Amino acid sequence: GAVVSQHPSWVICKSGTSVKIECRSLDFQATTMFWYRQFPKQSLMLMATSNEGSKATYEQGVEKDKFLINHASLTLSTLTVTSAHPEDSSFYICSASHEHQETQYFGPGTRLLVL
């Protein structure tokens, strides 16, 4: 149980385009989902926390207009990187947790390369 999927697993796009990444909880209802960014050989940096039906809470320094997060259902959250630039290239990982539970379950990650 507690499986989280991400789609796509990797994406290459041109500078200036937008990219949408999906995060799904496959066998549980995720009241809270988290989006992280990871640079090579570094730890995970929390970008934002999203609760189903609410606006996402962004961490300091993360541009909410650049990284649009939607959590429209208890099993799906999306991250849209708008007007992507090469510096947005990174590994994006989502996680999800049950209501009132302390454990986050992570997706397999999405590698984004912006040319």
Which residue, 52 or 70, has its beta carbon nearer to other proteins? 52
Q: Which is nearer to other proteins, 84 or 105 (CB)?
A: 105
Q: Which is nearer to other proteins, 65 or 103 (CB)?
A: 103
* CB-nearer residue toward other proteins: 59 or 63: 59
Query: Which residue pairs from 36-39 have beta carbons closer than 8 angstroms and sit at least 24 positions apart in sequence?
Result: 36/92, 36/93, 36/94, 36/95, 37/90, 37/91, 37/92, 37/93, 38/90, 38/91, 38/92, 38/93, 38/109, 39/90, 39/91
Q: Which residues pair with 81 in a beta bridge?
A: 19, 67
Query: What is residue 88's DSSP assignment?
Result: G
Residue ranges that bind other proteins, judged by CB under 8 A = 4, 6, 31-32, 34, 42-44, 46, 49, 91, 93, 95, 97-109, 111
Minimal distance, residue 65 CB to other proteins, in Å: 22
Closest distance of CB 27 from other proteins, Å? 15
User: What is the closest distance, in whole angstroms, from the C-beta atom of residue 93 to other proteins in the complex?
Assistant: 5
